[in-house]
Amino acid sequence: MYLHVSVFLFRSDIFFMQNSIRIGIAGYGNLGRGVETAIQKNPDLQLVGIFSRRDPATVSPCFAETQVYAMDSLSDFQDKIDVLILCGGSKDDLPQQGPILASQFNTVDSFDTHARIPEYFAAVDAPALANKKTAMISIGWDPGMFSINRLFGEALLPDGETYTFWGKGLSQGHSDAIRRVDGVKAGVQYTIPSTDAIEKVRSGSRPTLTTKEKHQRECYVVLAEGADAKAVEQTIVTMPDYFADYNTTVNFIDEETLKKDHQKMPHGGFVIRSGNTSNEQNQVIEFSLKLDSNPEFTASVLVAYARACYRLNQMQQYGAKTAFDVAPALLSMKSPEQLRKELL
């Protein structure tokens, strides 16, 4: 590992004087649209096209020049795409697609079911290694940016406690999980942090907080015709990894209300590390995000890590990787010389 990193730093011309990195988008919902938009702001990246399970003729991209192809045609593009960004959901899409596509492409995804990350890592790692591909998993802001800050907090303040708060905001992964419940026509989920819990943590008192004491989850659901509301509610509130450990409220609304009141996608949150460097000195580290658009910000993170994914593959760093495995300089379109001059 150290040899490869030193090669990158010494031979920076190999990685920073290249042609554009060619990007594909697999899946075109809110996250896919965000990736398409983010690529426009990164001049070293080139969008090859969107790959959708829908009929390409029915897909309307954000930009007229964007090409749209059938998902089934992806195998024809193995030599035309440097990194494929997977924009499917974590509940069903990525567990199925991730291992298959990691055998054919360098990939980046936003798998965000925290409890299943080790299992998913292993499933993607084997095919990527076998085919000399690099697969960045669980990239975004949590997991992703928040994960890195949890690591920093633990490393810098080993005598301490870490607390993560999400929201208030609309969770894409949890909303996707709701929409896949039988009897649900449409729906969204909001994560709401406890302000009292946040203030206790900021005080440096290191409180012991249960999952239910830190957050609550509010769901707004449009039922399919003939669906049993009680059965739908019970399925949601008992769903493992998503709702079972939280105080979850399910509100049934009509489609018009959903369109009128629940179309924006804000989110954010805090990672707070409270610890002591000596018995007398208490230190608090806090990282926060306030996002107007959860999918657009997540997409921006995915795009930056697509650049790093390509570079890691060029360095023969194959297999599954997470945000922990990426040196910050690999994310930037700037050269190491520029970074040392401008940001240190």
Sheet with 267-276: strands ordered across:
160-166, 267-276, 282-291
The H-or-E segment that residue 251 falls in is strand 247-252
Q: Single out the residue of 321, 312, 320 nearest to residue 127, CA to CA.
A: 320
The CA R_g of the chain, rounded to the nearest whole Å, is 21
pLDDT digits (tens, 9 = 90+) for 191-239: 999 999 999 999 998 999 998 999 999 999 999 999 999 999 999 999 9
**Does residue 3 carry a pLDDT above 80?**
no
The pLDDT, as a whole number, for residue 66 is: 98
**Does residue 301 carry a pLDDT above 90?**
yes
pLDDT digits (tens, 9 = 90+) for 143-170: 999 999 999 999 999 999 999 999 999 9
pLDDT digits (tens, 9 = 90+) for 171-196: 878 999 999 999 999 999 999 999 99
The pLDDT, as a whole number, for residue 91 is: 86
**Does residue 6 carry a pLDDT above 60?**
no
- Exposed, middle or buried, 136 (CB in 10 Å: 0-12/13-18/19+)? buried
CA dihedral 148, 121, 93, 182 (to 10 degrees): -90
pLDDT digits (tens, 9 = 90+) for 7-29: 344 344 455 555 799 999 999 99
The H-or-E segment that residue 314 falls in is helix 294-314
Phi-psi region of 210 (alpha: psi -120 to 50; beta: other; left: phi over 0): beta
CA–CA distance from 219 to each of 90, 91, 144, 224 (Å)? Answer: 18, 17, 24, 15
Structure tokens at 235: 């399925």
Q: Which residues of 156-182 are buried (b: 16+ CB within 10 A; e: fewer)?
A: ebeebbbbbbbbbbbbbbbbbbbbebe
Distance, in Å, from the CA atom of 298 to the CA atom of 145, rounded to the nearest integer, reads 10
Count of CB atoms within 10 A of residue 69's CB? 17
Which band of pLDDT confidence, cut at 50, 70 and 90, is reported for residue 288? very high
Distance, in Å, from the CA atom of 112 to the CA atom of 128, rounded to the nearest integer, reads 19
pTM as predicted: 0.85
Q: Which residues of 87-105 are buried (b: 16+ CB within 10 A; e: fewer)?
A: bbbbbebbbebbbebbbbb
